[in-house]
Amino acid sequence: MNSEDANMSLCLVTGGAGFIGSHIVRRLLELGQDVRVLDNFSTGHRKNLTEVAGRIDLIEGDICDMPTAQRAGSPKPIPSALWCANTKYQGMLY
């Protein structure tokens, strides 16, 4: 993948509204990363993202839903992703 194929500063954080994910989101923003969060808010909280609202690309949905997962990785490939979604189905995407 070269820089023309992807936004190299974009990082996807699944479960970014959760306890660990939201801390990672804030730190990535501090480091100058663009951040996309994918979360279904099953255990996460919107208030965890209040501070960064407007600075992140938020996709609300389930990572196990293929159209949602594809949306999270488009229109350009995501060069880095941090998996903080707490789901027993995570192996489905590997």
Report if residue 80 touches ligand NAD, rule: CB under 6 A: no
Residue 33 in the binding site for ligand NAD (CB under 6 A): no
Q: Residue 13, interface with ligand NAD (CB under 6 A)?
A: no
**Taking Cα atoms as reference points, which of 56, 44, 36 lies closest to residue 17?**
44
Shortest spacing between CB 50 and ligand NAD, in angstroms: 14
How far is it, in rounded angstroms, from Cα 4 to Cα 48?
33
28 binds ligand NAD (CB under 6 A): no
Q: Residue 28: which residues within 8 A CB-CB, separation 6 or more?
A: 11, 13, 35
Residues at the contact surface with ligand NAD, assessed by CB under 6 A: 14-15, 17-21, 38-44, 62-64, 84-87
